[in-house]
């Protein structure tokens, strides 16, 4: 994980916590869902459950697109 990505994660987590504390529940909920989705997506894509749900061809295509998308 590079420094920019790490800073982005820290900022998103900080904003989510700050939103919960200050009572901005809709914003806090949205940020929390965003952070959790991003954090859990990579392990899910590599799991056997994802292959069972979506099929091996679909998962191979997703992994290929995510690998090539990072280098563009």
Task: Note the pTM of the prediction, 2 decimals.
Answer: 0.54
State pLDDT tens for residues 24-58: 888 888 888 888 887 777 777 778 887 888 888 88
List of residues 6+ apart from 27 with CB closer than 8 A: 19
Residue by residue, DSSP assigns 51-71 as HHHH-HHHHHHHHHHHHHHHT
Tokens of 67: 């690998």
In the predicted model, is pLDDT for residue 72 greater than 50?
Answer: no
């Amino acid at each position: 994980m590079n420094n920019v990505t790490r800073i982005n994660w820290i900022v998103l987590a900080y904003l989510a916590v700050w939103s919960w504390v200050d009572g901005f529940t809709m914003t806090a909920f949205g940020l929390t869902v965003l952070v959790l989705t991003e954090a859990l997506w990579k392990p899910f894509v590599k799991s056997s459950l994802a292959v069972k749900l979506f099929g091996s061809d679909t998962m191979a295509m997703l992994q290929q697109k995510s690998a090539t998308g990072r280098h563009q």
